[in-house]
Structure 1
Amino acid sequence: MTKRLAIGIIGTGGIARFHAEAYLKLDYVDVVAVADVVPGRARQFADSLGLIGAQAFDSHEEMLKLPLDGVSICTPNVSHHRTSVDALRAGKNVLLEKPMSVTLQQAVEMVEASQASDKMLTIGFQPRYDPNMKKLQEIVQSGRLGNVYYVETGGGRRRGMPGGTFIRKDLAGAGAMADIGCYSLDLALNTLGHPRPLTVSAFTSNHFGTNKLYHPEADKFEVEDFGIALVRFENDLVLQFKISWAMHMDTLGPTIFLGSDAGLKITSAGTGPWSGVWDGSIGSMTLFHDDFGGHTETRVPLIEHSVNLFQAKVHDFAEAVRDGRFAPIPGQQILIQQAIIDGVLRSADQRREVSVELPASLI
């Protein structure tokens, strides 16, 4: 008989609804509890989804007293650290929405809590479940490119600036870097096998967010809407990372991997002013190499699929809990990403190159 899982959801914003709907498609999962700091909102959320029998709480601490197998954390960025650590210490497995945390130290404490409790901390990067993302990783890690020495990644929206909690530094920690830049970093780092960063040299700005012509909350805008960084890794690998919520341009260019034997160029799928970032699927993939006595370009066929990436992320977490597997996207991997974002913000603030320091025991 399949083990039934008792799952709780912390936070009831828009993203939480996608989590709940994904769980409802699994016949071995019961969403038994919901928590939100706004009084009454958890009950309203549970009732709107027909979660019969689910308990509602105004405090995640009270909810975590229940015998839950796992929790989805769908709160604002500033709450990711506290709720994750509390859940892990309470013996619950955790599926956490991106970004992992506001600060690097918070991310370190979250990984330490996961290790101490022997419970999984997995971070929600659903693009990893795209079959074409897996093909990209397979090509690069097969050695087809030879020695990969340079990667360029990132994306830009011509217009696509959020508001509310996303633009407050005390609640979000960072702007475009954390919101959509984390997807670009995860694309590159996961494809490369999570190399260890050494230094970061970066620049950020917020010309659009602080201008009332472009943002209705310009007087409250405290984070960056554009950033660019040069990241040095071990083994003479260099990454150029660039991201933008708004710009007078149609694109910041494709993601490219340059190797000693071949190069790979990929573009993101999607159209419109909020597209152009790596939060979804691949639009094209082209291999550049020398064969038959000359320069050759090979269009890599994309895999046609109907995978619901978000559901795949939630279902993989539930299956990992049920089957006792390791975290699908472990916090140790995303800790490297958090270290780079931390380095970007420090470098931009200090206007110089900075070192990236990571506890060796955690990666």
Structure 2
Amino acid sequence: MNKQYRIVVAGCGGMANVWIKALLKRDDAVIVGLVDVHIGQAEKIRDAYGLECGVNTELGRAIVDTGADLVIDATIPDSHFEISTNAMKHGCHVFGEKPMAATMDQARKIIETADATSRSLSVMQNRRYDANIRALRELISSGMIGSPGMINADFFLGPHFGGFRDVMESPLILDMAIHTFDQARFIIGADPVSVYCHEFNPKGSWYKGNASAVCIYEMSDGSVFCYRGSWCAEGAPTSWEADWRIIGEKGTAIWDGVHTPYAEVLLADDSAEKKFIRDVARIEAPMDWNGKPGHEGCLDEMFLALREGRPAETDSRDNIHSMAMVLGAIESAKSGQKVMLG
């Protein structure tokens, strides 16, 4: 039987519900404590799920009292640095929400703390865990279209959230685009080198801050990733997974974020060089991945990594590159200049 991890959940707001529902399905996890600055909120969550655990307003005390070895950080982004470093210093591994920290300096210090304590922070990047994106990644890594030279992702939706997103300075990039940026890194297996971003708020937007952006990233494999996105685009929506076109030396891969990805690749025909538009064949992506989708799939990988004593796929050392794409884009938009990342 797998080890059963003793878990304290920090932050009892909306995201805590997502984590707790997934954890309650597992036989290798038991929730032994809830922490929130508002004790009544922790009690409300405890009672809603019928949990038999203590509640606390201070994370360190909760860890000591319960003997926890794993902390779930479901707090707001500005608290992630304090929660994750405190938990690791108390001997716990951490599974946390994105972004892993509020600043790059904090992110680097989190990794330093992980190294010093031999503990880890793994970040919930649930959109990696989908059979279609796994198939697209396999299609690219197989060399079917050759080396990618240009990666394009379009993200156009018009969600009327209300609440904090409506008044954020950069709602699209800060709250959502990290998913698409992380997906790009995952699909092509490369990290960002630089970014130029134009962020704006178009006519008709119901957001106070900039709800639209165009970003151009130079990647470590020499390719260019182009992101076009808007959270105030009424009509003709893309999927939440974005609409992808990846152009390589020998063909193009397509994924609409919903259906099975495919590629159109050049035919091996000696006479093709003479044609103005060369002939191609359609290749369906291999659908071999059978993991769980979304949060549960990411949790499976996180727990497996702990049991095997290795960094998770979304370990902080990897995820810092996705975070750099977000903060670099905002810096570029404010300065009007290309920003080097690294």
**Alpha-carbon distance change, 308 to 259 in structure 1, aligned in 2, over 3 angstroms:** closer
- Does 1:232 pair with 2:218? yes
The amino acid of 1:243's aligned partner reads G
- Report what 1:257 is aligned to: 246
**Alpha-carbon distance change, 178 to 33 in structure 1, aligned in 2, over 3 angstroms:** same
Distance 2:160 2:103 in 1: 22
Q: Secondary structure of 1:187's partner?
A: helix
- Give the TM-score, by structure 2 length: 0.87
- Report what 2:316 is aligned to: 331
Contact 1:285 1:302 in 2 (8 A): no
Q: Secondary structure of 2:30's partner?
A: strand
Identity percentage of aligned residues: 22
- Report what 1:354 is aligned to: 339
- Does 1:179 pair with 2:175? yes
Range 308-317 or range 65-74, more displaced: 308-317
What residue ranges of structure 2 are gaps of 5+ in the alignment?
Answer: 270-278
**Alpha-carbon distance change, 339 to 139 in structure 1, aligned in 2, over 3 angstroms:** same
- Does 1:284 pair with 2:260? yes
**How far apart are residue 248 of structure 1 and its match?**
4.4
Deviations 1:181-229 (A, max 9, x none): 111111110112133x222111111346xx6xx53xx5xx3x4211111
- Which of these residues, 185, 197, 201, is aligned with residue 202 of structure 1? 197
- Which of these residues, 177, 187, 191, is aligned with residue 191 of structure 1? 187
Q: Secondary structure of 1:268's partner?
A: coil
- Does 1:307 pair with 2:292? yes
**How far apart are residue 148 of structure 1 and its match?**
1.0
Distance 1:65 1:229 in 2: 45
Contact 1:194 1:333 in 2 (8 A): no
Q: How many residues align?
A: 329
Q: Secondary structure of 2:39's partner?
A: coil
**Alpha-carbon distance change, 50 to 320 in structure 1, aligned in 2, over 3 angstroms:** farther
Question: 1:116-135 residue pairs with structure 2 within 5 A?
Answer: 116-135=116-135
- Give the TM-score, by structure 1 length: 0.83
**How far apart are residue 106 of structure 1 and its match?**
2.0
Distance 2:221 2:16 in 1: 40
Question: 1:70-85 residue pairs with structure 2 within 5 A?
Answer: 70-85=70-85
Distance 2:10 2:245 in 1: 38
Deviations 1:264-286 (A, max 9, x none): 011112xxxxxxxxxxxxx2312
Question: 1:1-363 residue pairs with structure 2 within 5 A?
Answer: 2-52=2-52, 54-66=53-65, 67-157=67-157, 159-167=158-166, 169=168, 174-195=170-191, 197-207=192-202, 215=206, 221=208, 223-248=209-234, 250-251=236-237, 254-269=243-258, 283-291=259-267, 293=269, 294-300=279-285, 302=287, 307-356=292-341, 358=342
Distance 2:10 2:40 in 1: 14
Range 330-339 or range 20-29, more displaced: 20-29
Q: Secondary structure of 2:91's partner?
A: coil
Contact 2:215 2:226 in 1 (8 A): yes
Runs of 4+ in 1 over 6 A off after TM superposition: 303-306
The amino acid of 2:309's aligned partner reads G
Contact 2:135 2:261 in 1 (8 A): no
What residue ranges of structure 1 are gaps of 5+ in the alignment?
Answer: 270-282, 359-363
Q: Secondary structure of 1:236's partner?
A: coil
**Alpha-carbon distance change, 92 to 163 in structure 1, aligned in 2, over 3 angstroms:** farther
